[in-house]
Amino acid sequence: MSKLKIINVVGARPNFMKIAPIVEEIRKYEGIEQFLLHTGQHYDHKMSDLFFNNLGLPKPDCYLGIGSGGHGTQTGKVMIEFEKVMLEEKPDIVLVVGDVNSTIACGLDAVKLGAKLVHVEAGLRSFDRTMPEEINRILTDQISDYLFLTEKSAFKNLENEGIDTAKAHFVGNVMIDSLLKHRKKAAEQKILQELELEPGNFALVTLHRPANVDDRAVCTTLMQTLCTISESLPVVFPVHPRTRKQMGVFGLDSLIAKHSNMRLVEPLGYLDFLQCMDNSKFVLTDSGGIQEETTVLGVPCITARENTERPITAEVGTNIIVGRDSQKLLAEANKILAGKGKKGEVPELWDGRAAERIVKILWENEGK
Ligand code: UD1
């Protein structure tokens, strides 16, 4: 008897922790054959392999080795290479997660070659079309056959874009499946010791969005703000390669060097980062996923963006959307330091079982 064949796609760092619980869940189904494809959008050890190791992901069945490039180049290269894999492997289903360039590139190939497309983390909208991810989200949702939602607000977004919500299923959050599974193991890591950090007495920072790091004035102001915060407590800042490059271009390294409490480190692995998040006083970020993870951990999160595509984290979670205004960023940080940080709750269905729900729905509808 033939099996249901699914290609699971990953490309960039935020994809790995989303696919891991799905890969693990599919293993329980004898009738499903799975194939893991890595486009190679992210390729540095610390942006990719380390995550495979930390998350117990199997070695990809296929690695496209696409690498960095402009949006057109990167998306186009993935499409050209993934088409060949599609023709060779002939999957019934292609499953993509999140909103990176690899997500839309593989999605386009999949539907044009007759596979069903599954989008995990569908329906999120920042309503800011200058974000490359927003375009990737809108287009991927338009062509998907199954839309798996992390929060109910996404139903309305899909409906507003004329998408039949019968295709949409509210299942919870696979990123949180990974977090809950690995939280205990993360607690055993040694990164706090290595960085000489006291639990509950440091701020954790990540910044990598083009809108924050590609503009000289914005990037400089943000770094100055971090330096000011570091006068109150140590600031741990694992620096994304894009940000590292831009800081060099803008000559910001000397500013940072003057502040001994600024701890710039290489990008951390999944478990080390989770240990840092779980023990931080607060997190300051422009990431999407970290807004969700801090909400589940109950750690206050200051988001240095004008909007969020994950409104539930601000409505019920610990997230505060502050924008890029340094006064507002500092005011929120001081509020938290004064013990008046936002307390939140865990959103509905963020219970560690999203992957289970997703695979069940796929098997019930597509199983052979
Ligand atoms: C991508 C995603 C973004 C996600 C982020 C997480 C898109 C459009 N953006 O942004 O949604 O939040 O990943 O990290 O898909 N680089 C390295 N080593 C690597 C990867 C990248 O040095 O392993 C450097 C290169 O200089 C590259 C730059 O980082 O040009 C940006 O990489 P890219 O994949 O284009 O976008 P990200 O900013 O990482």
Got the DSSP string for 61-113? SEE-------HHHHHHHHHHHHHHHHHHH--SEEEEESSSHHHHHHHHHHHHT
Question: What pairing do the DSSP bridges indicate for beta strands 262-265 and 235-238?
Answer: parallel
Q: Are residues 228 and 113 in the same domain?
A: no
137 and 12 within one domain: yes
Residue 1: band (very low, low, confident or very high) from pLDDT cuts 50, 70, 90: confident
Question: Which of 17, 96, 100 has most ligand 1 atoms within 8 Å of CB, for mutation?
Answer: 100
Using pLDDT thresholds of 50, 70 and 90, give the confidence band for residue 361.
Answer: very high
- Asked if residue 347 belongs to a domain, the reply is no
Q: Would the CB of 47 count as within 6 Å of ligand 1?
A: yes
**139 and 226 co-located in one domain:** no
Supply the pLDDT for residue 270.
98
Please tell me the distance from the alpha carbon of residue 311 to that of residue 180, in angstroms, as a whole number.
21
- CB neighbours (10 Å) of residue 314? 19
Query: How far does the centroid of ligand 1 lie from the alpha carbon of residue 150, in Å?
Result: 23
Are 160 and 199 part of one and the same domain?
no
Could you read off the pLDDT of 114-166 as tens digits, one per residue?
999 999 999 999 999 999 999 999 999 999 999 999 999 999 999 999 999 99
Q: Does 143 share its domain with 273?
A: no
Of the candidates 42, 119, 182, 208, the residue annotated as catalytic is 208
Tens of pLDDT, residue by residue over 180-213, are 999 999 999 999 999 999 999 999 999 999 999 9
Query: Cβ atoms within 10 A of the Cβ of 117, count?
Result: 21
**Looking at the domain assignment, is residue 345 inside a domain?**
no
**Structural domain containing residue 330:** 183-337
My answer on whether 167 and 235 are in the same domain is no
How far is 342 from 320, CA to CA, in rounded Å?
Answer: 8
Mean pLDDT of 76-85: 98
Residues 19 and 161 in one domain: yes
178 within some domain: no
What single string gives the DSSP state of each residue in 249-284? HTT-HHHHHT-TTEEEEPPPPHHHHHHHHHH-SEEE
Same domain for 189 and 162: no
Rounded CA-CA distance 300/277 in Å is 10
Q: 69 with 22, same domain? A: yes
Q: Is the pLDDT of residue 332 over 90?
A: yes
Q: Does residue 212 sit in the same domain as residue 136?
A: no
**Is 360 among the domain residues?**
yes
CATH classification of the domain holding 106: 3.40.50.2000
pLDDT digits (tens, 9 = 90+) for 235-253: 999 999 999 999 999 999 9
Is residue 161 domain-resident?
yes
Q: Is 214 exposed, middle or buried (0-12, 13-18, 19+ CB in 10 A)?
A: middle
Total domains in the chain come to 2
Clarify whether residues 213 and 165 are in a common domain: no
Local structure of 42: helix, strand or coil = coil
Token pair belonging to 203: 């701020």
Q: Kindly state whether residues 272 and 153 are assigned to the same domain.
A: no
